[in-house]
């Protein structure tokens, strides 16, 4: 039995190129640690879509085209109580001035755990895959009636340690409206860019114009204090 019932996703854009370092310092050293004392908060992970990752996306739609970071919190029962505490904590931190203002959530909210799977070569159970160290992930976001991406085919890519999929519950009350969407996360043992082409081929397979897919691409695991991916974008242009 999987104790995790919900994955809370935040696909985040940093609206000021000079604020990436301060955002990462805030999120990793202040914001995320405050979530773990909440009842029902099991785990959290952060990934970054570096400039190279963005260039390697198989699908780059309008909704998530500007995303820089993906955060995933895993939540257990009591789900509704955990979400209420999660939302209330965000409000309290904002009142205390402990919220980063140069950010915009492009897609956020709770998604129910749908399927979990581990690659045959991996010794841990499918339920344990997210807790296993990873070098990054390949994330697919889908909507509409098209059949979901083939999990078995994703697991055949050598870099993939496991795959979890999540679906949004449009009936759930709360502050977030993620819409009717599916998010699939492939947890990677190898460098995400090295696996990106093979995973992108799986996403496109049998789908004219990638029907139903609104985002598909690699992201790297965020390493504490190594936050220099966007430093060149923050530098002022030379004057001529």
- Give the integer Cα–Cα distance in Å for 80 and 24: 28
Domain ranges of the chain: 4-225
- Give the integer Cα–Cα distance in Å for 78 and 41: 10
Per-residue pLDDT in tens (0 to 9) along the chain, 240 residues = 899 999 999 999 999 999 999 999 999 999 999 999 999 999 999 999 999 999 999 999 999 999 999 999 999 999 999 999 999 999 999 999 999 999 999 999 999 999 999 999 999 999 999 999 999 999 999 998 888 999 999 999 999 999 999 999 766 656 788 889 999 999 999 999 999 999 999 999 988 888 899 999 999 999 999 999 999 887 765 666
Q: Quick one: pLDDT at residue 42?
A: 97
* Contact in structure between 112 and 169 (CB atoms under 8 Å): yes
CA dihedral 132, 134, 136, 139 (to 10 degrees): -30
Q: Quick one: pLDDT at residue 172?
A: 62
Q: Quick one: pLDDT at residue 236?
A: 67
* Contact in structure between 154 and 184 (CB atoms under 8 Å): yes
* Contact in structure between 14 and 71 (CB atoms under 8 Å): no
Which DSSP state fits 27? I
**Helix (H/G/I), strand (E/B), else coil: 94:** helix
- Give the integer Cα–Cα distance in Å for 82 and 44: 14
- Give the integer Cα–Cα distance in Å for 156 and 74: 25
In this structure, what token pair is assigned to residue 198? 């093979």
Burial of 174 (0-12, 13-18, 19+ CB in 10 A): middle
- Give the integer Cα–Cα distance in Å for 72 and 37: 16
Q: Quick one: pLDDT at residue 175?
A: 79
- The CATH number assigned to the domain with range 4-225 reads 3.30.70
- Give the integer Cα–Cα distance in Å for 239 and 55: 28
Q: Quick one: pLDDT at residue 171?
A: 62
Answer yes or no: pTM beyond 0.85. Answer: yes
């Amino acid at each position: 039995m999987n104790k995790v019932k919900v994955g809370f996703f935040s696909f985040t854009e940093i609206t000021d190129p000079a604020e990436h370092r301060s955002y990462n310092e805030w999120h990793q050293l202040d914001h995320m640690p405050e979530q773990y004392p909440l009842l029902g908060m099991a785990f959290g992970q952060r990934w970054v879509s570096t400039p190279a990752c963005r260039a390697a996306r198989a699908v780059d739609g309008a909704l998530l085209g500007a995303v820089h970071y993906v955060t995933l919190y895993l939540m257990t029962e009591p789900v509704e109580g955990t979400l209420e505490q999660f939302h209330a904590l965000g409000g309290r931190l904002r009142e205390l001035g402990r919220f980063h203002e140069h950010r915009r959530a492009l897609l956020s909210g709770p998604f129910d755990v749908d399927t979990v799977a581990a690659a045959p070569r991996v010794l841990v159970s499918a339920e344990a895959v997210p807790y296993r160290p990873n070098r990054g992930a390949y994330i697919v976001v889908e909507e509409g009636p098209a059949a979901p991406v083939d999990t078995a085919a994703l697991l055949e890519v050598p870099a993939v340690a496991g795959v979890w999929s999540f679906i949004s519950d449009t009936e759930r009350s709360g502050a977030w409206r993620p819409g009717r969407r599916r998010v699939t996360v492939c947890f990677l043992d190898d460098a995400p860019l090295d696996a990106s082409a093979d995973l992108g081929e799986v996403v496109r397979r049998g789908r004219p114009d990638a029907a139903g897919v609104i985002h598909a691409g690699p992201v790297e695991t965020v390493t504490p204090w190594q936050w220099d991916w966007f430093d060149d974008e923050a530098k002022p242009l030379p004057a001529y």
